Amino acid sequence: MKKYLFKIFILYFFISCNSENYFIEFKDINDGWEHKSPVIFNFFAPQEPVNISIMIRVDKSYPFSNIFLKSKIMYEENVIIDTLELDLTNNEKGIFSGNSLSLQNHSFLIAKKVNLSKDVTFEVSHASRFLDSINAVKKLNGVLSVGLLVEKYQNEKI
């Protein structure tokens, strides 16, 4: 029940803060995120520039202070592939930047002012690994959900 209430709160928060959201969706990760199981989002992109953010929710069992992700954006005949390192801390001491000790919610802008066309598929998989390994962790514990937010690009004025 708490999980659903939290999702409703997050969805309400994003919608109320910005009425220019074109797409927002969360996918639950049950019993650890398998390395070879990408999270896939499909959405319809507007004919104007957008910002794309990825949202990650982790709990205290998450073993790292960062996360490595492989992302793939596919539209028409175009494919944009990127590897991202996202820092889950916001200070020099490496303390988690989440909003509580047991759960941390993170949002990262990964693409700014991108022009996509109509039907878009976004895939993301983790590529996190331990220092003594060259392979990604097969089952990454502590990741509870992964979300995608596509919103209207707004020109920032200083």
Q: Could you read off the pLDDT of 35-90 as tens digits, one per residue?
A: 899 999 999 988 899 999 999 999 989 988 889 999 999 998 889 999 999 998 86
Mean pLDDT to the nearest integer, 120-143: 88
Domains located in the chain, CATH noted: 20-152 (2.60.120.1300)
Residues 104, 98 contacting (CB under 8 angstroms) = yes
Strand partners for 98: none
The CA distance from 150 to 24, in Å, is 6
Q: Could you read off the pLDDT of 21-36 as tens digits, one per residue?
A: 889 999 999 999 998 9
The CA distance from 48 to 46, in Å, is 5
Q: Could you read off the pLDDT of 138-150 as tens digits, one per residue?
A: 899 999 999 999 9
DSSP secondary structure, 103-129, as one string: EEEEEEEEEEEE---SEEEEEEEE---
pTM of the complete model: 0.78
The CA distance from 112 to 116, in Å, is 11
Mean pLDDT to the nearest integer, 100-128: 87
